[in-house]
Amino acid sequence: MEETIFHKILAGEIPAHKVYEDEHVLAFLDIFPLAKGHTLVVPKVFGETLLDLSAETISSLWQGVQHATKKIKEVLSPEGFTFGVNHGEVAGQSVPYVHVHIIPRWADDNGGSMHSIVKNPPSESIEEIAALFT
Ligand code: AMP
């Protein structure tokens, strides 16, 4: 497996600006921030995507997201947050090491909601799609 930039950050081989850390996760500022305080949270156990993580790692990863969010709220007082995971290359994942984006939001930030990410509604009815899951 090839080492990613996040392996190197976790190993202390390249610097990062820490927002929060515990035994399970590291949260650090995104180097190309979409907003002030844009933070990435990575588990200390490697997985490329959420599907590669154990239940315990997923649990501690999202607890880490909550801790980092509290810290960002205290320091920057944003009015809301967008949480995001670009899962797979086609969805925009550029670093193949699972990470959660925390993007602080303000009323006047000209950003959109989750509904602005993709507009690809299915041609099938909701019942036809639901039938695939039964
Ligand atoms: P994604 O496109 O979801 O894979 O997000 C990867 C994120 O990592 C991007 O938002 C990059 O700006 C960020 N990034 C890449 N290299 C670094 C770095 N050395 N330190 C902090 N953030 C980084």
Residue 84 banded pLDDT, cuts 50, 70, 90: very high
* d(CA 127, ligand 1 centre) in Å: 39
Give me the residue label for tokens 């844009």: 38
Q: What's the Cα-to-Cα distance from 69 to each of 6, 26, 40, 57, 73, rounded to whole Å?
A: 20, 13, 11, 18, 6
In this structure, the chain runs to a length of 134
pLDDT of residue 106 exceeding 70, the answer is yes
* d(CA 109, ligand 1 centre) in Å: 21
DSSP structural state of residue 11 = T
Specify the 3-state DSSP secondary structure of 92: coil
Partner residues linked to 83 by β-bridges: 102
Q: 10 Å Cβ neighbour count for 13?
A: 10
Please report the atom of ligand 1 found closest to the CA of residue 34: 10
Q: Which of 16, 112, 27 is nearest to 72 (CA)?
A: 27
Q: Round to whole Å and give the CA distance between 37 and 20.
A: 12
All domains of the chain in start order, with CATH? 5-132 (3.30.428.10)
Per-residue pLDDT, 20: 98
Per-residue pLDDT, 2: 75
Model confidence over 36-83: pLDDT tens digits? Answer: 999 999 999 999 999 999 999 999 999 999 999 999 999 999 999 999
Contact (CB, 8 A) for 99 and 6: yes
Enter the pTM of the model: 0.97
Per-residue pLDDT, 102: 98
Partner residues linked to 40 by β-bridges: 28, 101
Beta-sheet pairing, 25-29 with 39-43: antiparallel
Per-residue pLDDT, 25: 98
Model confidence over 14-42: pLDDT tens digits? Answer: 999 999 999 999 999 999 999 999 999 99
Residue 99 annotated as catalytic: yes
Per-residue pLDDT, 42: 98
